[in-house]
């Protein structure tokens, strides 16, 4: 069956696909977005909602400056409040190497316009984050205008606005094949029929490698399960407590409802599509929680869920058209940071699609880097 034609088919309706569909439609493109499940039901719906500018690569900092600006204007633009709460991001550092790195990064952040990011001594860390403990803390960085936003609200904002601009959003339909004719994309096959198109955006998150294979394009994205736990109410912790990250272990937490949301990357993680909560992860985190935020450890866990990080070898996204196949675009491999990058990514790729220069150079994120050499790996990965 024919599902008609489109200037571009977006594969995947997470926050990235919805942002791209909106921004492409805003530039006059006829867009069809195909989502095999429900919009925002995968990594986007499982994410911690963090939004920061404190990255190690300059391109990510510039992109995040843009994302923060776009998030702040999202309600005016789409009518939906993204629930962006600028409670700040606090990095807690415990070794000399981190101190040197973050002091160097701080001057880069300030040079790029993140003017309110600052160095904080251990005493100020205790004021900002009273439940944090540890004689080993050497200092940290704090940016009060970083924060958290709602993945559900941001995704709905973009999906709704895309529809109003004429984009077709098709849920419960899987892309099963990508047709290539004369060396370029010619159509997308789905479980409901075919869409003729000269362009495909691979926004399939943890499944980006599989969608790449459909077009014969190697997309080095691997799924890594990550757990999130939310505590019982903790009335002693204020609701504007900053997102706090113990850099050595990647243990992080921020206010969620009346409790705290927390998570941590574990050693010896292996790729898998498993999204059942791994309760053993809680035991693996226990020592770190007890040492860094014992009050959180004593609060009890009210709920938990698991989702997938979509990791690339250099922990940077893959953005833009690929050299191997005309009409095949990537917007995937966000390595655990895609929620906050979605506003800028949609805007920048839509500009590229209509032949305009993106305000932030995207060379560091080009697919070709996996053959020509990595330009700028991201080090501040949580
Ligand atoms: C526990 C956890 C915490 C996180 N915390 C943060 C955070 O604090 N800040 C942050 O910025 N990021 C965070 N992330 C990362 C963030 O969630 C992702 O980077 C982001 O959601 C990626 O969005 P996406 O649209 O690319 O992927 P997804 O939301 O996974 O969307 C991809 C979509 O593609 C669909 N799809 C796949 N294959 C097909 C197909 N063949 N046909 C049709 N549809 C298909 C899937 O069903 C899915 O809905 C976190 C992730 C996890 C798991």
Q: From the CA of 16, give the closest atom in ligand 1.
A: 25
- Is the CB of residue 312 below 6 angstroms from any atom belonging to ligand 1? no
What total number of domains does the chain contain? Answer: 2
Atom from ligand 1 closest to the CA of residue 206: 30
Are 15 and 129 found together in one domain? no
82: in domain: no
> 248 near 94, Cβ under 8 Å?
yes
Note whether 31 and 167 are same-domain residues.
yes
| pLDDT 10s digits, 238-251 | 999 999 999 999 99
- Do 206 and 244 lie in one domain? The reply is no
- Tokens in use for 188? 């997308």
Summarize pLDDT for 145-171 with one digit per residue, the tens. Answer: 999 999 999 999 999 999 999 999 999
38 and 156 fall within a common domain = yes
Domain boundary among 295, 311, 327: 311
Q: How far apart are CA 159 and CA 267, in angstroms?
A: 36
Cα 11 to ligand 1 centre (Å):
12
For position 267, what pLDDT does the model report? 79
Answer yes or no: is the C-beta of 14 below 6 A from any ligand 1 atom.
yes
Q: Ligand 1 pocket, 106 CB below 6 A?
A: no
For the Cβ of 209 lying below 6 angstroms from any atom of ligand 1, the answer is no
Chain-centroid distance, C-alpha 371: 24
Residue 71 lies in a domain: no
In terms of domains, do 350 and 307 share one?
no
Residues 158 and 296 placed together within one structural domain of the fold: no
Which of 3, 11, 12, 318 maximizes ligand 1 atoms within 8 Å of its Cβ, making it the mutation to test the pocket? 12
The atom of ligand 1 lying closest to the CA of 39 is 49
Q: Classify strands 222-231 and 301-311 as parallel, antiparallel or unpaired.
A: antiparallel
Q: Do 233 and 204 belong together in one domain?
A: no
Q: Is the pLDDT of residue 125 over 90?
A: yes
Report which protein residue has its CA nearest ligand 1's atom 15. Answer: 336
Same domain, 228 and 367: no
In angstroms, how far is CA 104 from the centroid of its own chain? 24
Residue with tokens 């070794």: 95
| CA of residue 42 to ligand 1 center, whole Å | 5
Ligand 1 closest atom vs CA 306: 1
Rounded percentage of the chain residues whose pLDDT exceeds 90:
96
Give per-residue burial for 117-156: e unless 16+ CB within 10 Å, then b. beebebeebeebbebbeeeebbbbbbbbbbbbbbbbbbbb
Q: Is the CB of 226 under 6 A from ligand 1?
A: yes
Q: What is the CATH number of the domain that holds 279?
A: 3.30.9.10
Q: 11 CB under 6 A from ligand 1?
A: yes
Residue 93 pLDDT: 98
Residues 126 and 243 in one domain: yes
Ligand 1 centre distance from Cα of residue 41 (Å): 8
Q: pTM score, two decimals? A: 0.98
- pLDDT tens-digit readout, 17-48: 999 999 999 999 999 999 999 999 999 999 99
Residues 208 and 232 occupy one common structural domain? no
Residues 200-257 have pLDDT tens digits of 999 999 999 999 999 999 999 999 999 999 999 999 999 999 999 999 999 999 999 9
The answer to whether residue 242 sits within a structural domain is yes
Which residues have C-beta within 8 Å of that of residue 371, sequence separation ≥ 6?
A: none
Query: Domain limits at 33?
Result: 2-48+151-220+314-372
Concatenated DSSP letters of 228-258: EEEESP-TTS-TTPPEEEETTTTEEEEEETT
Q: What is the CATH number of the domain that holds 26?
A: 3.50.50.60
CA of 28 to the centre of ligand 1 (A): 26
Please, what is the end-to-end C-alpha distance for the chain in angstroms?
Answer: 44
Q: Which residue has the tokens 């800028």?
A: 344
Which of 311, 339, 358 terminates a domain? The answer is: 311
Quick check: CB of 171 below 6 Å from ligand 1?
no
Both 197 and 122 in one domain: the answer is: no
The last residue of one of the domains, among 311, 338, 354, is 311
Tens digits of residue pLDDT in 320-360 = 999 999 999 999 999 999 999 999 999 999 999 999 999 99
Residue 323 lies in a domain: yes
Residue 373, pLDDT score: 84
Q: Given pLDDT bands bounded at 50, 70 and 90, which one contains residue 377?
A: confident
Backbone angles phi, psi at 112, to 5 degrees: -90, 5
> Which atom of ligand 1 approaches the CA of 332 most closely?
26
């Amino acid at each position: 069956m024919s599902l008609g034609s489109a200037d571009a088919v977006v594969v995947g309706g997470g926050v990235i696909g919805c942002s791209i569909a909106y921004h492409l439609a805003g530039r006059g493109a006829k867009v069809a977005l195909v989502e095999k499940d429900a919009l925002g039901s995968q990594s986007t719906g499982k994410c911690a909602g963090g939004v920061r500018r404190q990255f190690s690569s300059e391109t990510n900092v510039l992109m995040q400056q843009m994302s923060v600006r776009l998030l702040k204007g999202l309600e005016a633009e789409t009518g939906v409040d993204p629930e962006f709460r600028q409670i700040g991001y606090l990095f807690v550092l415990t070794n000399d190497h981190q101190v040197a790195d973050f002091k160097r990064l701080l001057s880069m952040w300030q040079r790029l316009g993140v003017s309110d990011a600052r160095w904080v001594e251990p005493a100020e860390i205790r004021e900002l984050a009273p439940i944090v403990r540890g004689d080993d803390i050497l200092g940290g960085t704090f940016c009060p205008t970083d924060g958290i936003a709602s993945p559900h609200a941001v995704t709905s904002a973009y999906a709704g606005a895309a529809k109003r601009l004429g984009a077709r959003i098709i849920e419960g339909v899987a892309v099963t094949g990508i047709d290539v004719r004369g060396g370029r994309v010619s159509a997308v096959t789905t479980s409901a029929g075919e869409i003729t198109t000269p362009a495909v955006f691979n926004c399939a998150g943890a499944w980006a490698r599989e969608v790449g294979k459909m077009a014969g394009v190697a997309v080095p994205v691997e799924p890594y399960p990550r757990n999130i736990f939310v505590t019982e109410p903790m009335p002693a912790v204020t609701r504007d407590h900053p997102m706090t990250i113990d850099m050595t272990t990647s243990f992080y937490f921020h206010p969620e409802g009346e409790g705290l949301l927390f998570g941590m990357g574990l050693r010896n993680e292996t790729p898998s599509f498993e999204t059942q909560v791994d309760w053993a992860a809680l035991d693996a985190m226990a020592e770190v929680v007890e040492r860094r935020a014992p009050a959180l450890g004593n609060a009890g866990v009210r709920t938990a869920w698991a989702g997938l990080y979509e990791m690339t070898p250099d922990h940077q996204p893959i953005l833009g058209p690929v050299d191997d196949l005309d009409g095949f675009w990537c917007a995937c491999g966000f390595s655990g940071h895609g929620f906050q990058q979605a506003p800028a990514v949609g805007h920048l790729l839509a500009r590229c699609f209509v032949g305009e220069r993106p305000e932030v150079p995207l060379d560091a994120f080009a697919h070709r880097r996996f053959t020509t050499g990595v330009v700028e790996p991201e080090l501040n990965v949580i």
